[in-house]
Structure 1
Amino acid sequence: MKAKYVFRSVLCATVLGLGAFNALQAHASIVIAATRVIYPAKEREVMVKLSNEGKGPRLTQVWIDNGDERAGPAAQEVPFTIAPPVARIDPGKTQTLRVSYTGEALPQDRESVFWLNVLDIPPQVQDDGVQANLLQVAVRSRIKLFFRPAGLPGTAEEAPARIQWRVVPGGIEARNPSAYHVSFTEIEVVSSARTATFDEGGMVSPGQTTVFPLKGDVQASTATKVRSQAINDYGGVQRNEIPLLRH
């Protein structure tokens, strides 16, 4: 039996279904030197560095999607190009990706969000009779890419503190009046004697409202404030404590 490869995403425009992938212990050798990409509209291109921290060479395939994580590289229609789309990275070496905006119309009064995908593909193992049943896994990393027009009001750093919070049936409602996306790692609703939390990670888009389900039991009448942890442009955590809105 030859060595098998299990892909979590699309490679060479072929979709391979995989229901049991989450049960596998897969570790990426290719590391992205950022947790998000900020693309200022005035820039001709931005660069993203990949590094191979594994013990062997790796093949990478990269692409940008518009939110549909199931669609592969050939199915994407996004206003960006990325080069090189496929590259070999030797152990201990790096590869710089060059992301370029192709000029198609995007909103100029708010950020737009896309996703950068990096597929880390292990080298093929020859069937020498010893490793014939080896299961190899290609691991995909996916991070946000924010296209940021010039002249937006306020700053991305100020946006988390501008979120307006309300306790509603089903959880905590976050309304984002800013022109920037706000991503949270944790949200905690505080009352006089109890707390309830959301810790699964989530995002509120500009001008949008999102309800996050809570773990715990708090009532709207007793809840007083929200403590949140948002992610800044550099991948760091920004903590805020904001009073709740009342109906």
Structure 2
Amino acid sequence: MIAKKNILKICALAATTLFSMQSIAAIQLSNTRVVIEGSKNSGSVVAKNISSEPFVIQNWVEGPNEEMETPFFVTPPLSRLEGNTDFSLNIRKIDGDLPSDRESYFWLNVMEIPKSEKEDSNNLTLAIRTRIKIFYRPTGIGSPTEVEKTLDWALIRNGSTCQLTVSNGSAFNVNFSDILIDSKSTEFGKGYISAPFSQQTVDLKSCPTTGQLQANIVNDYGAFIQLPIVQLK
């Protein structure tokens, strides 16, 4: 039997954790992505503290695979944001060569660090990180209109197993919000990015029956766009 004292400790910890979870995303960003045009080499996003408490926020850019060395710098890299206030984070390309014939993408990281309550040893303090994508679009490649026309899908059957191949013939990163096969969401489809001028293959958990594929993508403004249904062959 669990002692009453231990039950009280568990309840206190649960309440503290719940309180901390409610503080998640105290810092909200105005965009879900930042597109940096090659002609400007800079972009911005507004960070807003929707709570009444002050937070220290740390900001930096990583590569697609969390590489720390990137040609971008965020100002300010570290700052204090008072409650119910906001300010702009400026992202600038400062160095390094990126492909001139296609988009490159990176991650903007915003870490919110709450004020430490030293007098309360039972308080659980969480540092929450928010990440949004940065797309660097060099001059001369245009804009990603009708990008779905550059996508080519193929189903590869090998006995009882199947693979899905997507070829992206455009100069743009295609960011999927969901990929459905036979009206069922695929695990890999949420947030999946098809790189420019690439072919990628993923394993499917099961082989489709009708082979109908429905893909949804995210545009420059963070809106979801439903693409026409494709019949896999």
Q: Please give the alpha-carbon distance, in whole angstroms, between the structure 2 residues aligned to 1:45 and 1:201.
A: 24
CA contact (8 A) 2:155 2:164 kept: yes
Identify which range, 53-62 or 164-173, moves more after superposition: 164-173
Aligned to 2:217: 230
Identity rate, percent: 29
Amino acid at match of 1:144: K
Identify which of structures 1 and 2 has the higher relative contact order when contacts are C-alpha pairs closer than 8 Å and 6+ apart.
1
Structure of greater Rg: 2
- The answer for unaligned runs of 5 or more in structure 2 is 1-19
Q: In the TM superposition, what is the alpha-carbon distance from 1:98 to its structure 2 partner?
A: 1.2
Q: In the TM superposition, what is the alpha-carbon distance from 1:245 to its structure 2 partner?
A: 5.4
Amino acid at match of 2:122: N
Of Structure 1 and Structure 2, which has the larger fraction of its residues in helix?
A: 2
The 3 A distance-change label for structure 1 pair 64 and 228 is: same
Q: Please give the alpha-carbon distance, in whole angstroms, between the structure 2 residues aligned to 1:235 and 1:188.
A: 19
TM-score, length-normalised on structure 2?
A: 0.81
Aligned to 1:21: none
- The answer for unaligned runs of 5 or more in structure 1 is 1-23
Q: Please give the alpha-carbon distance, in whole angstroms, between the structure 1 residues aligned to 2:33 and 2:52.
A: 26
Q: Please give the alpha-carbon distance, in whole angstroms, between the structure 2 residues aligned to 1:212 and 1:241.
A: 21
2:44 to 43, 47, 50: 47
The 3 A distance-change label for structure 1 pair 208 and 94 is: same
Amino acid at match of 1:227: Q
Q: In the TM superposition, what is the alpha-carbon distance from 1:178 to its structure 2 partner?
A: 0.5
Aligned to 1:209: 199
CA contact (8 A) 1:196 1:218 kept: no
Equivalence map 1:66-105=2 (5 Å): 66-69=63-66, 76-105=68-97
CA contact (8 A) 2:162 2:207 kept: no
What is the aligned-residue RMSD (CA, Å)? Answer: 2.2
Q: In the TM superposition, what is the alpha-carbon distance from 1:157 to its structure 2 partner?
A: 3.1
Runs of 4+ in 1 over 4 A off after TM superposition: 212-217
Aligned to 1:6: none
Q: Please give the alpha-carbon distance, in whole angstroms, between the structure 1 residues aligned to 2:50 and 2:206.
A: 40
SS of the equivalent of 1:135 reads: coil
Aligned to 2:12: none
Number of residue-to-residue matches in the alignment: 208
SS of the equivalent of 1:28 reads: coil
Aligned to 1:218: 208
CA contact (8 A) 2:213 2:232 kept: no
